[in-house]
Structure 1
Amino acid sequence: MQRWIMPRPVPLRPAHSRLVVPGLVAFVLSSLGLAGCADTGLSAITTPVSAFDGLFSGNPQADPHRLAVFVVSRRKGERGVASEEMSDNARFSFQTISVPPSHQAGQIERPSLGDQDSAHDFVLASRRSMGEEEFVRAIATHLSGRIGSNRDVLVYVHGFNTSYDDARYRLAQIVEDGRFGGVPVLFTWPSTNSLLDYGAAKENATVSRDALTRLLQQLGSLPDVGRVHILAHSMGTWLAMEALRENAISGSPDLNGKLGDVMLAAPDIDLSVFKQQMARLNPSHFEVLVTANDRALSLSRTLAGDRPRLGALDPHKTEDRAALDALGVKVVDLSSESTDLLHHGNYASAPDAVRNIGAEIGKSRIEDANVQAVLGQKPVDDKISSEPLPPLTPAPTVAEAPVPTPAQ
């Protein structure tokens, strides 16, 4: 077993005054000992989406900037009851998310009350619905002409008890803090905001498997893609593993040679189930981020009849270490990185943890070393390696459209 024991992070600066930690939600979570997989401190209160507010000041350090995100959703809508219901088919969109200039690593700044403000909050700046073929072409266009790790795609699969907003803003925060220069793709599925609907959420994840399987197939077939990385959290790790297993059964366990890092954060997976899933996959692609004191996974274990959850194994215990050794995967212990009450969202809320994720998926590769040749300069020097570049601006084929008023 390879073990990566993370150092303690630099202490966080005081959170932004507008960061939401709603009292009612905090009370319920502390009472039940579970936040599901909602790994943010986001409010259960939904703030209406408005058009991108305010003009840029012309000062890059004072202005928000936008991140382009491609989204595949199995939800009927983005808010209210519709966001918790399964759609008949996958829905596709291209979205831009504004990151505030005052953003602090590990945080998702959102308003607790009142209107959202792009100077201080993560804001949905624009959204454009697409058909499936247009969606795939748009990603291909977005990848065209890139070099190095900027040719990579990061697919994020959230977990239980995660709203649509929680999911897209969490991905934006991970991309921002991890300095990922490739193309981010969110796969979102109906996971209710009720902490008591754990069983229903698992059924929704099961129904969503085929859509995620198809998405991974499509991404692995893009001609200009470098690697397809996957970051999944909690119950979303089971969904991601099932999609990879289905692809393996169909004859493509490595997505046409394009599979990159598969990072499973706090995986809510039965250990014996994970062994069966891994039997068809190459463990060298996998990193399991464990937290021995994860209170959410502790309750999940109880609900599962005291069956151990992969994400709560402790590599410092002889029995658990032996189980992890047998899997052959890389193990990252985040037990000392806790920044929240439940210790369930360390992978993204602890600044050092999310930066290491970004460094892992953005590291230089030998096959991408000919940067000079790609740029049309002198013949490549074998000592030169690529470095992540800033993401390109969206291509004209995916031009931004105004955000619709919320009635979805």
Structure 2
Amino acid sequence: MTELEVDIDAEGSMRFAALILVCGVLVGCGRPAGVLAPIEATVPNAARVDLLVATTRAPSKDPGILFSGERETRVALTDITVSIPPDDRRRVGQIQWPTSLPPNPETDFATLNVTPLTDGRQPQAWLKQHLPRNRRVLVFVHGFNNHFDDAVYQLAQIAHDSGADAAPILFTWPSRGNIFQYVYDRESTNASRDALEEMLRNVAKDPSVGEITVMAHSMGSWLVMEALRQMSIRDGRVAAKVRNVILASPDVDVDVFATQWRDIGQPRPRLTVFTSRNDAALRVSRRLAGDVDRLGQIDPMAEPYHSALEKSGIDVIDLSALSVAGSLNHSKFAENPEIVQLIGKRLIAGQTLSGSEATLGERVGGFAMGVGQTVGGVAGVALSAPIAVVDPNSRRAYDDQLKNLGDVVDETVGTATDQ
């Protein structure tokens, strides 16, 4: 075997090992299929989360699965209610999957209601019934390797644990929920761009809706950016009601993101990005995508990104210093109790982390916030470990402090994202 062949073989083995690691962590072991079959009753003190679900997935013949990972051209709408165990029986940031069916609502997430919405007037009726007084909507788009039930229960968990005062809407695209189907999933996001764009436009047109926050995870961030880009090109701007966009661990090529952000044009929604340099899933994605930086993996304080972000108006929250036991550090935004509550109390509410009265640096004297300190001076949002919050108003204030942090970047920084 030649030296070149050895190198290729070693790289292939490394990729395979990484994929197996991802598979072992992200794919549920021993989880029963069919958890979406409704049970008749829940238990006292269990929470109920009502979701409006829009999907481009093909229907499943199994009523407990509802929708498969295959593609459908028509968007299906469903009203789904999820029961979440009482607070004293669960950990914030976790989905408690049943180990057998039917689920026990005392300890497990369970489905209480599944109602297809086939009448065109039903989505508007759902919104009117579930909108809070602030008339705010949260649209969530999941990432790679998600079955339909994964997406449903993830949004139910986020909506409940974040305490977000918003009507939750899930847009779920055709993922096969298979770690080895990365390319298929990526093409499914491409096939779903028009559907997400149209859904956002329809929600924005509803007179009962006041404000929309769009939150995406991982590969879903690509889909959101493409839908907003298309909307801006088609309509001349993103719908005015789409005020906030949150990208968590975005699996988006940084160069592609730069073109998407530029094409969205002005006026833009407020954009917040959660990054983590120790995100193992994005490390694999980077390998598969030609070794180009993924947006969710960048160091926002390192050049060339620091200068580019300073001009962009994008808020970046670097979660590299946080870790979640037994995970790939790819879903910190939902798994860490303080972070998911921060999202609900501040970001979905349309507030910046630095607040309106002073910059973050002025409030806490720097960007590193430890135990017992609060983000932007907001009472009750304590962090269990340091994070970095990088907003355009306060970046310059703590540049000098960054030189002493000793963060080691293990890969060469790629091309800067610019406007």
- Show the counterpart of 2:57: 75
Q: 1:32 aligns with which of 6, 13, 20?
A: 20
- Show the counterpart of 1:353: 339
2:281 counterpart of 1:293: no
Cα shift readout 1:55-93 (whole Å, capped 9, x = no counterpart): 64xxxxx43121110000111135679611011311111
Alignment of 1:285-324 (within 5 A): 285-324=270-309
Structure 2 distance, partners of 1:194, 1:364, is: 35
User: Does the residue aligned with 2:96 lie in a helix, a strand or coil?
Assistant: coil
Structure 2 distance, partners of 1:177, 1:334, is: 19
Structure 2 distance, partners of 1:125, 1:115, is: 11
1:331 offset after TM fit, Å?
Answer: 0.3
Give yes or no for contact 1:42–1:110 (8 Å, CA) kept in 2.
no
- Show the counterpart of 1:87: 72
User: Does the residue aligned with 2:120 lie in a helix, a strand or coil?
Assistant: helix
1:271 offset after TM fit, Å?
Answer: 0.7
- Partner letter of residue 141 of structure 1? K
1:364–1:305 Cα change, 3 Å: closer
User: Does the residue aligned with 1:76 lie in a helix, a strand or coil?
Assistant: strand
Structure 2 distance, partners of 1:37, 1:253, is: 40
- Show the counterpart of 1:260: 243
- Partner letter of residue 202 of structure 1? R
1:218–1:36 Cα change, 3 Å: farther
Q: How many pairs are equivalent?
A: 328
Give yes or no for contact 1:63–1:119 (8 Å, CA) kept in 2.
no
Structure 2 distance, partners of 1:296, 1:309, is: 11
1:337–1:275 Cα change, 3 Å: same
Cα shift readout 1:30-78 (whole Å, capped 9, x = no counterpart): 663435995x96865424444324464xxxxx43121110000111135
1:113 offset after TM fit, Å?
Answer: 3.8
- Partner letter of residue 201 of structure 1? D
User: Does the residue aligned with 1:337 lie in a helix, a strand or coil?
Assistant: coil
TM-score (norm 1): 0.74
- Partner letter of residue 294 of structure 1? D
Structure 2 distance, partners of 1:82, 1:93, is: 11
- Partner letter of residue 298 of structure 1? R
Structure 2 distance, partners of 1:234, 1:343, is: 12
- Show the counterpart of 1:126: 113
Give yes or no for contact 1:178–1:359 (8 Å, CA) kept in 2.
yes
User: Does the residue aligned with 1:318 lie in a helix, a strand or coil?
Assistant: coil
Q: 2:330 aligns with which of 344, 350, 357?
A: 344
Q: 1:142 aligns with which of 123, 126, 129?
A: 129
- Show the counterpart of 1:116: 103
Structure 1 vs Structure 2: percent identity of aligned residues? 33
Alignment of 1:52-201 (within 5 A): 52-54=39-41, 56=43, 62-77=44-59, 83-101=68-86, 102-131=89-118, 133-142=120-129, 146-148=132-134, 151-201=135-185
Give yes or no for contact 1:290–1:310 (8 Å, CA) kept in 2.
yes
1:143 offset after TM fit, Å?
Answer: 5.3
1:173 offset after TM fit, Å?
Answer: 0.7
- Show the counterpart of 2:192: 208
- Partner letter of residue 344 of structure 1? H
Structure 2 distance, partners of 1:344, 1:268, is: 10
1:363 offset after TM fit, Å?
Answer: 3.5
1:29–1:345 Cα change, 3 Å: farther
Cα shift readout 1:325-383 (whole Å, capped 9, x = no counterpart): 34330001111222143110101011111001001245488xxxxxxxxxxxxxxxxxx
1:31–1:188 Cα change, 3 Å: closer
Gaps of 5+ in 1: 1-27, 57-61, 366-408
Structure 2 distance, partners of 1:31, 1:206, is: 23
CA-atom RMSD in angstroms: 2.6
For CA contacts below 8 A with separation 6 or more, give which structure has more relative contact order.
1
Give yes or no for contact 2:243–2:350 (8 Å, CA) kept in 1.
no
1:292–1:36 Cα change, 3 Å: farther
1:35–1:290 Cα change, 3 Å: farther
Structure 1 distance, partners of 2:318, 2:218, is: 15
User: Does the residue aligned with 1:335 lie in a helix, a strand or coil?
Assistant: coil
Moved more, 296-305 or 275-284: 275-284
Structure 1 distance, partners of 2:129, 2:347, is: 18
Moved more, 339-348 or 202-211: 339-348
Structure 1 distance, partners of 2:122, 2:323, is: 37
Cα shift readout 1:295-354 (whole Å, capped 9, x = no counterpart): 111111111111110000012433343343343300011112221431101010111110
Structure 2 distance, partners of 1:51, 1:132, is: 22
Structure 1 distance, partners of 2:235, 2:167, is: 26
Q: 1:333 aligns with which of 318, 334, 358?
A: 318
Give yes or no for contact 2:39–2:102 (8 Å, CA) kept in 1.
no
Structure 2 distance, partners of 1:212, 1:342, is: 28
TM-score (norm 2): 0.72
Q: 1:278 aligns with which of 256, 261, 264?
A: 261
- Partner letter of residue 52 of structure 1? I
Gaps of 5+ in 2: 1-15, 352-419
Give yes or no for contact 1:35–1:296 (8 Å, CA) kept in 2.
no
Structure 1 distance, partners of 2:274, 2:73, is: 33
User: Does the residue aligned with 1:190 lie in a helix, a strand or coil?
Assistant: coil
User: Does the residue aligned with 1:203 lie in a helix, a strand or coil?
Assistant: helix
Moved more, 109-118 or 243-252: 109-118
Give yes or no for contact 2:19–2:179 (8 Å, CA) kept in 1.
no
